[in-house]
Amino acid sequence: MPSTGTTVAQLGERGLLTRVLANIPASRDAELGAGDDAAVLHAPDGRVVITVDTMNEGPDFRRDWSSGEDLGRKAIASNLADIAAMGARPTGLVIALALPGSLPDAWVEDFARGLSCALDECAPGVGIVGGDLATAERIQISVTAFGDLERRAPVVRSGARSGDVIALAGDAGRSAAGLALLAAYANDEPLEQLRESCGPGGTALLAAQLRPVAPIAAGPAAARASASAMMDVSDGLLLDAHRMAEASNVTMRFERALLEPFAERLARELSESPGLPDDPLELVLRGGEDHALLATFPVDVVLPEAFTRIGEVLPPEPSRLLLDDEGREPIGWDPFSN
Ligand SMILES: Nc1ncnc2c1ncn2[C@@H]1O[C@H](COP(=O)(O)OP(=O)(O)OP(=O)(O)O)[C@@H](O)[C@H]1O
Ligand SMILES: Cc1ncc(C[n+]2csc(CCOP(=O)(O)O)c2C)c(N)n1
Ligand SMILES: [Mg+2]
């Protein structure tokens, strides 16, 4: 993207809207898209699934690590994962952006490209139906996403039953491994150099952190296959599974042998980045931001293609979380204590 050297302040709200609106896809489900006071979205099921999530420069991302395109992609993955986690099909999004006046306009075009590419790749036909522009000292990105249940019941966190299989669609620990690489090296090395020194495996982990890809289609697939409970894993497998276990009043037991392939993949990808981190299985258990789908299914169900079995649901025990027979604490990401 050739930079014209123009800033957001020079472009102004109108100019910015023209730039942004020119580059974002429309939604197949929009009767009226962006451009008026509000949008009109179809709700074929009659019920609407709604979620909102905010990313703030500083606590949630750094501009020297994430490009505009990275953040556009991450905003789509993290928000559509919440819609998918209800078993719903995404129908549209609205995006509120607060930008510093000094931000180059190329950043905004880059961001819009990230939105479009991620939508094309993981939810074709879903688009941005509106948004809001404001100014702030640091970038804030707030996304509201909508979804349709297609006449199914929502797949809630409280539906896990003793005897169910626990399954995962998507990555575990790879995004956190990418963040660990950034934290360990990126202050001394430019990102390009870091990509070279950590090899293709490390580069893939950086991408998992900066541009996570969520298995959006797996959400409705799980619902069609009678998933009993589901959520996206944003704060870490143990912490999010603990939320599901509490809501369902069950114990979730993960099998070490079934998680080992995730840890082995991580170990391979980290092999050219010595000194990092100590135990890949701990990253699999505690790492957040992969936006994988954690679901439970009755034991006789054939798991949808995207899902891998990782454990089983037990009746409530003193420990809500077990790794084989060892009790585990719900340790993961908490935005207020990190
Ligand atoms: N400010 C708020 N007002 C009302 N409800 C809230 C507020 N913040 C969070 N919640 C609700 O609390 C629940 C848990 O929120 P949390 O952010 O942990 O989960 P989530 O929405 O799945 O997040 P993630 O984006 O990390 O997947 C959600 O149902 C959310 O709507
Ligand atoms: C610069 C920088 N600092 C920290 C992190 C880690 N981080 C941010 S949000 C989040 C979990 C999901 O958040 P939420 O629950 O709000 O959706 C995590 C693990 C990062 N990626 N970049
Ligand atoms: Mg969630």
Contact 240 CB / ligand 2 (< 6 Å): no
Instruction: Please say if the pLDDT value at position 119 is more than 80.
Output: yes
Using the predicted structure, report yes or no on whether residue 62 has a pLDDT greater than 70.
yes
Q: Tell how far the Cα of 271 is from the centroid of ligand 1, in angstroms.
A: 36
The matching CATH number, chosen from 1.10.287.130, 3.30.920.30, 3.90.650.10, 3.40.50.300, for 157-327 is 3.90.650.10
Quote the mean pLDDT of the chain: 95
Domain range list for the chain: 12-148, 157-327
Is there an atom of ligand 1 within 6 Å of 234 CB? Answer: yes
Residue 123 predicted with pLDDT over 50: yes
Give me the mean pLDDT over the 256-283 stretch.
91
Q: Which atom of ligand 1 is least distant from the CA of 231?
A: 22
Test site for ligand 2: of 55, 142, 232, 289, most ligand atoms within 8 A of the Cβ: 289
Ligand 1 atom at minimum distance from 78 CA: 25
* 4 band by pLDDT with thresholds 50, 70 and 90: low
Kindly indicate the confidence band of residue 277, based on its pLDDT and cuts at 50, 70 and 90.
low
The dihedrals phi and psi of 326, each to the nearest 5 degrees, come to: -100, 130
- Determine if residue 162 is left, alpha or beta; phi over 0 gives left, psi from -120 to 50 gives alpha, anything else beta: beta
Does pLDDT of 326 surpass 60?
A: yes
Q: How confident is the model at residue 1 (pLDDT cuts 50, 70, 90)?
A: very low
Give the residue, 5 or 281, on which the prediction is more confident.
Answer: 281
Binding-site residue set for substrate:
60, 289, 333
Q: Which residue has the higher pLDDT, 268 or 186?
A: 268
Please, which pLDDT band fits residue 5 given cuts at 50, 70 and 90?
confident
Give the ligand at the shortest distance from the Cα of 138: 2
Atom in ligand 2 nearest the alpha carbon of residue 288: 19
Residue 276: what pLDDT?
74
Of residues 21 and 50, more confidently modeled: 50
Distance 180 CA to ligand 2 centre (A): 12
Query: If you compute the radius of gyration of the chain from its CA atoms, what whole number of angstroms results?
Result: 20
Q: Which CATH class for the 12-148 domain?
A: alpha beta
In this prediction, residues 49-61 reach a mean pLDDT of 98
> Is the minimum distance from the CB of 180 to ligand 2 under 6 angstroms?
no
Pocket perturbation via mutation, ligand 1, pick of 56, 74, 80, 82 by most ligand atoms within 8 A of CB: 82
Binding residue ranges? 37, 51, 53, 60, 82, 131-132, 157, 232, 234-235, 289, 333
- Positions at the binding site for ATP: 131-132, 157, 234
pLDDT for 201: 96
270 C-alpha vs ligand 1 centroid, how far in Å?
32
Lowest mean pLDDT segment, chosen from 181-185, 216-220, 271-275: 271-275
The CB-side HSE value for 4 (13 A sphere, CA atoms) comes to 11
**How many angstroms does the Cα of residue 30 sit away from the middle of ligand 2?**
31
pLDDT for res 240: 98
Best mutation site among 53, 216, 242, 294 for ligand 1 pocket (most ligand atoms within 8 Å of CB): 53
Of the listed ranges 15-19, 83-87, 134-138, 201-205, the one predicted with least confidence: 15-19
